[in-house]
């Protein structure tokens, strides 16, 4: 029979045999979020379109070309979130969380949607882990956030991501910078793509991250923002670098990083890999001191980053870093005959009640097929019970690795007998 449909282009399925990889990463991220003082926020997958236009910016690629936007039956324009920052800021503002004491620190796992051309490391549905800090303008907060991201890579054994930082200033220093960019790009206007021609007047900085080859070629020689920073932004950037230095963080200043979203101010940063192809930015973020006010709140200096889960997995694969497999089934109980099947059911339930991973046959297979299945799922021990075993209330417990067997009784103390043998086996001395 032909499948009704297949997954859409740019989307991925995570199958049961692979999900442990995600869970392992998520576990480390949750743990690092906890020690850095972040609590998780969960927001809707779709929001009013206006939220992303106002925050990400009308002239960005994301808003102009990539959003999944549709009208609801009620006639409202909604958008599947292209990123996590806007929704988190909206929710915290809406619920007055910023009035409850600062800083507020929020972490999240989100699925994101961007209608981009799919390629390795670039999907239309992808997943991010992010951290956001609200209510501080101190450079140490920028450094702390960068350290939090780095701590995740460190725990995963990734030691060759390069950290690139820049400052893209504030609206004050941008005035002079925009004028310089306009002058530069105006001399190339005829060669720019149509979108960038429109950006020339409205937001020339966005030409710097246009994905078109011609525009990015021209952008290579454009003036850089670092030459236009105002005194305050200059001081702030110096402060961030000093804090990173004192934390022993290695970085390079890359004056070409502008990030693709409009809300950024001052510090921006990226963790870039040399081993996953052209979609090399695994993690990106920065300060967005004007965003909360833009969304209708009080001015609230803030900052954050997001890390792409799929790109991180690609990176781990490319480096041959193995993610530990989850614990296999501790015991498979194979049964032959009706009373043995009933016994298998209760034995396994007792084991599970004691938090042990145990399985038995629930599809009606013969004994041979049951043992084949036990092997397939990598069960560490097996127990075969039939009429004799039920009658004698005893059975042989087999270590599936060594083949050794020991007799156990099937009464009330079965779980404690098995647990002792299992734990003993785990410390390296099989039965």
- Residues in the site for ligand HAM, rule: CB under 6 A? 83-85, 114, 116, 121-123, 126, 128, 130, 132, 260-261, 281-286, 304-306, 308, 310-311
Distances (CA, A) of 372 to 101, 334, 346, 366, 368: 59, 10, 22, 10, 6
Minimum CB distance to ligand HAM smaller for 142 or for 389: 142
Q: Which residue is nearest to ligand HAM (CB)?
A: 308
Helix (H) or strand (E) holding 393: none
220: its two tokens: 């290579």
Minimum CB distance to ligand HAM smaller for 32 or for 281: 281
C-alpha R_g of the chain: 28
* Closest distance to ligand HAM from the beta carbon of 132 (Å): 5
Residues 6+ apart with CB under 8 A from 63: 52, 53, 56, 57
* Closest distance to ligand HAM from the beta carbon of 306 (Å): 4
Return d(Cα 126, Cα 110) in angstroms, integer.
8
* Closest distance to ligand HAM from the beta carbon of 110 (Å): 9
Minimum CB distance to ligand HAM smaller for 119 or for 346: 119
Nearest to 23 by CA among 326, 411, 348: 326
Give the CA count within 13 Å in the CB-facing half-sphere of 221. Answer: 8
* Closest distance to ligand HAM from the beta carbon of 296 (Å): 19
**Gap between the terminal Cα atoms of the chain:** 48
Decide if 178 contacts 206 (C-beta within 8 A).
no
* Closest distance to ligand HAM from the beta carbon of 247 (Å): 20
* Closest distance to ligand HAM from the beta carbon of 308 (Å): 2
Cβ count near 395 (within 10 Å):
24
Minimum CB distance to ligand HAM smaller for 130 or for 290: 130
* Closest distance to ligand HAM from the beta carbon of 271 (Å): 8
Minimum CB distance to ligand HAM smaller for 84 or for 425: 84
Minimum CB distance to ligand HAM smaller for 297 or for 304: 304
Return d(Cα 201, Cα 87) in angstroms, integer.
29
Minimum CB distance to ligand HAM smaller for 99 or for 119: 119
Minimum CB distance to ligand HAM smaller for 255 or for 430: 255
Per the document, the length of the chain is: 431
**Pairing label, strands 281-287, 302-308:** antiparallel
* Closest distance to ligand HAM from the beta carbon of 248 (Å): 24
Burial zone of 221 (CB within 10 Å; 0-12 exposed, 13-18 middle, 19+ buried): exposed
């Amino acid at each position: 029979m032909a499948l009704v449909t297949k997954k859409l282009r740019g989307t991925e399925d995570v199958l049961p045999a692979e999900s442990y990889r995600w869970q392992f990463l998520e576990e480390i991220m949750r743990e690092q979020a906890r020690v850095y003082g972040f609590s998780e926020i969960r927001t809707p997958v779709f929001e009013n379109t206006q939220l992303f236009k106002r925050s990400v910016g009308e002239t960005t690629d994301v808003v102009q070309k990539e959003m999944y936007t549709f009208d609801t039956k009620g006639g409202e324009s909604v958008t599947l979130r292209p990123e996590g920052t806007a929704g988190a800021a909206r929710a915290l503002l809406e619920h007055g969380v910023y009035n409850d004491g600062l800083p507020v620190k929020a972490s999240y796992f989100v699925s994101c949607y961007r209608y981009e051309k799919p390629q390795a490391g670039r999907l239309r549905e992808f997943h991010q882990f992010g951290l956001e800090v609200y209510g501080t303008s101190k450079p140490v907060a920028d450094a702390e956030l960068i350290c939090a991201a780095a701590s995740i890579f460190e725990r995963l054994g990734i030691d060759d991501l390069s950290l690139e930082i820049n400052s893209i200033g504030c609206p004050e220093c941008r005035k002079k910078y925009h004028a310089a960019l306009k002058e530069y790009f105006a001399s190339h206007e005829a060669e720019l793509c149509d979108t960038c021609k429109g950006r020339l007047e409205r937001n020339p900085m966005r030409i710097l991250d246009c994905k078109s080859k011609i525009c990015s070629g021209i952008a290579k020689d454009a003036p850089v923002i670092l030459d236009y920073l105002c005194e305050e932004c200059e001081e702030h950037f110096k402060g961030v670098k000093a804090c990173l230095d004192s934390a022993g963080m290695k970085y390079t200043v890359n004056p070409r990083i502008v990030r693709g979203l409009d809300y950024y101010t001052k510090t921006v940063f990226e963790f870039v890999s040399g081993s996953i192809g052209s979609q090399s930015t695994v993690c990106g973020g920065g300060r967005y001191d004007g965003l909360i006010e833009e969304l209708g709140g009080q001015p609230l200096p803030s900052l954050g980053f997001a890390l792409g889960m799929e790109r991180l997995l690609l990176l781990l694969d490319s480096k041959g870093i193995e993610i530990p497999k989850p614990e296999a089934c501790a015991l498979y109980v194979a049964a032959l005959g009706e009373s043995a099947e009933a016994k298998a059911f209760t034995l396994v339930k007792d084991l599970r009640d004691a938090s042990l991973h145990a399985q038995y046959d629930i599809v009606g297979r013969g004994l041979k097929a049951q043992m084949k299945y036990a092997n397939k799922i990598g069960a560490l021990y097996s127990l075969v019970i039939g009429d004799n075993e039920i009658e004698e209330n005893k059975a042989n417990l087999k270590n599936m690795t060594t083949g050794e067997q020991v007799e156990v009784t099937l009464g009330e103390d079965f779980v404690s007998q098995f647990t002792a043998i299992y734990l003993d086996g785990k410390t390296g001395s099989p039965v």
